A and B are shown apart, each in its own frame.
Chain A
Amino acid sequence: MLKHSVATALLAAGLLLGNHAAAQDTMAMPNQSAAMAASAPRDPALKPVFEEFGGKPGLVSLVNDFMDNLMADPVTHPFFANVDREHVKKELVDQFCVILDGPCTYTGRDMASVHKGMGVNRADFNALVEDLQKAMNQHKIPFRAQNKLLAKLAPMHKVIITKK
């Protein structure tokens, strides 16, 4: 029946798209440890997205506003109040830059060790993601480009969220 095939085709199309994305994830850098690679998974397919973020200068100013949002957000504020925020910002810029296949190297620690013992829960995690979304909106980064970066960051919840 036509009705049927339309629904099936829609689903199949979506699944194929998803598969394509998943395949790209496996192209991690071979000369890094698994944990480091998972912390900043470079994806050559995201080069155009790097441009949409305004290259490295774009990322620097984005992360500035991101940190401002984190400090203004009552959920995330307590986590960042007493850390070296300038340092965290630098690491975040490098991390995003590597993921988007920019000319950078991530020299920070891996995500599991950084966030160990912080007691981050899911609401904290989502709050941080929203603060990032807000910053990306402030910078007029196209929604689809935003989602490409977020899709790389979201799986990190597995090692960052330690309080269930």
Chain B
Amino acid sequence: MHKHRMSRAIALGGLALAGALVSLAAAADDGSSGAPANVSGKLLLTGGVSEIGGAAGGGLTPWAVIGGYGTNDQIGANAFYTRVNTQDYHLDDAGVMVGLYNRVEVSFAQQRFDTEKVGGLLGLGNGFTFKQNVIGVKVRLFGDAVLDQDSWMPQVSVGMQYKKNNQDAVVKYVGAKRSQGTDYYISATKLFLSQSLLLDATVRFTKANQLGILGFGGDKNNSYQAEFEGSAAYLLSRNWAIGAEYRQKPDNLGIAREDNWYDAFVAWAPTKHVSLTLAYANLGNIVIKDNQHGLYASVQVGF
């Protein structure tokens, strides 16, 4: 109980800090409003936000873009904090990402999945938390999602995410084969500027159960499966975008059904240094609790 409240407090503190960073970054940009300062080279909102596993993308799925606002001869970096709150669980997710020369992206994220009272019901204790570290690498193969407006060709990248969960015994107890695993994905992203529309399609090869929070592989299935993920974002202005996302997921565990995920989001980037994303996410069944849905909030700061 007490521990539970602690983590709430930390999360709130994190949000407050993020808020402070936001206003700082905004103020810094205001200072130079007359003379536009371009500290970094990419166009606003075209770098995406931070995916739940730490890669640049939508909230639920990576995009082919390389994170950070760096260009071919620049390095860009981001840090993010994301919180997802459903009726019976919450997820705190924080990470950093570096984009190198618009070619390679390296990321790290830590996901903390708090089972709240469900942990108690399962005999793990209230507030029982799974912690998972995710190390990601993404490489842009070809294409330019933003500038190549005269062709069909999307920007295409491949990536991998190595994930390690700290609850080896628990995930094996529920039927998972391992507590660590690697996802591989290929993403195609294209901005249709004349339509102010950005589309992404990603195929992920994975064994992960609920991102890996419940381990990898299971009694029902223990081989890699190809899952489809997609995002559509409509740009309302330089600073605002709305959209929806979809993430198909495997269903490897006999003890509990796993559902595909959706969200609808609004993203706001007052400057290049900061973006805020709010989404309504539908996460379906998670272990013994069905129809989990709720608010997804994410803040990203970077250069």
Residues of A within 8 A of B (CB): 3-4, 6-7, 10-11, 14-15, 17-19, 21-22, 25, 69, 72-75, 121-123, 125-127, 129-131, 133-134, 137, 143-144, 147-148, 150-152, 154-155, 157, 163-164
Q: Is B43 at the interface (CB under 8 A from chain A)? A: yes
Partner-contacting stretch, out of B8-16, B86-94, B234-242:
B234-242
- Bound Cα distance A150, B71 (Å): 19
Task: Give 24 CB contacts A-B under 8 Å.
Answer: A4-B228, A7-B230, A11-B230, A14-B192, A17-B192, A18-B152, A21-B149, A25-B150, A72-B34, A122-B71, A122-B72, A123-B40, A126-B43, A127-B41, A130-B36, A137-B238, A143-B238, A144-B196, A147-B195, A147-B196, A150-B149, A150-B193, A154-B148, A155-B150
Chain B residues within an 8 Å CB radius of A72 = 34-36
A4 CA to B196 CA in the complex, in Å?
24
Encoded as 1 (CB less than 8 Å from any A CB) or 0, chain B from 123 to 150 comes to 0000000000000000000001011111
Report A-chain residues with C-beta under 8 Å of the C-beta of B37: 73-74
| 8 closest cross-chain pairs (CB), A and B | A123-B41, A155-B150, A151-B193, A122-B71, A14-B199, A151-B149, A72-B35, A151-B194
**Contact-residue size bin, chain B (C-beta under 8 Å from the other chain):** 35 or more
Known: A18-B192, A147-B194. 5 other contacts (CB 8 A): A14-B232, A73-B37, A126-B71, A143-B235, A143-B236
Among residues of B, the one whose C-beta sits closest to the C-beta of A12 is B199
Quick check: A7 and B38 within 8 Å, CB to CB? Answer: no
Name B211-242 residues within 8 Å CB distance of A: 228, 230, 232, 235-238
CB distance from B221 to the nearest CB of A (A): 18
The secondary structure that dominates the A interface is helix
Q: A127-B41, A154-B146 are in contact. Are A147 and B193 (CB under 8 A)?
A: yes
- B81 at interface by CB-CB < 8 Å: no
Tell me, in angstroms, the Cα distance from A125 to B148 when the chains sit together: 13
> Bound complex: CA of A21 vs CA of B146, how far in Å?
14
Judging by beta carbons under 8 Å apart, are A127 and B195 in contact? no
B245 nearest CB across to chain A (Å): 9
**Binary A-proximity of B7-45 (CB < 8 A = 1, otherwise 0):** 000000000000000000000000000111110111110
> Shortest CB–CB separation between residue A141 and chain B, in angstroms?
12
Q: Which residues of A contact B208 (CB under 8 A)?
A: none
Do A22 and B152 have beta carbons less than 8 Å apart?
Answer: yes
B154 CB → nearest A CB, Å: 9
| Alpha-carbon distance between A10 and B232 when the two chains are bound, in angstroms | 7
Contacts of A74 in B (CB 8 A): 35, 37-38
B182 at the interface (CB under 8 A from A): no
Instruction: Report Cα–Cα, A127/B44, bound state, in Å.
Output: 11
Residues of A within 8 A of B71 (CB): 121-123, 126
Known interface pairs A25-B150, A73-B35. Does A18 touch B236 (Cβ–Cβ under 8 Å)? no
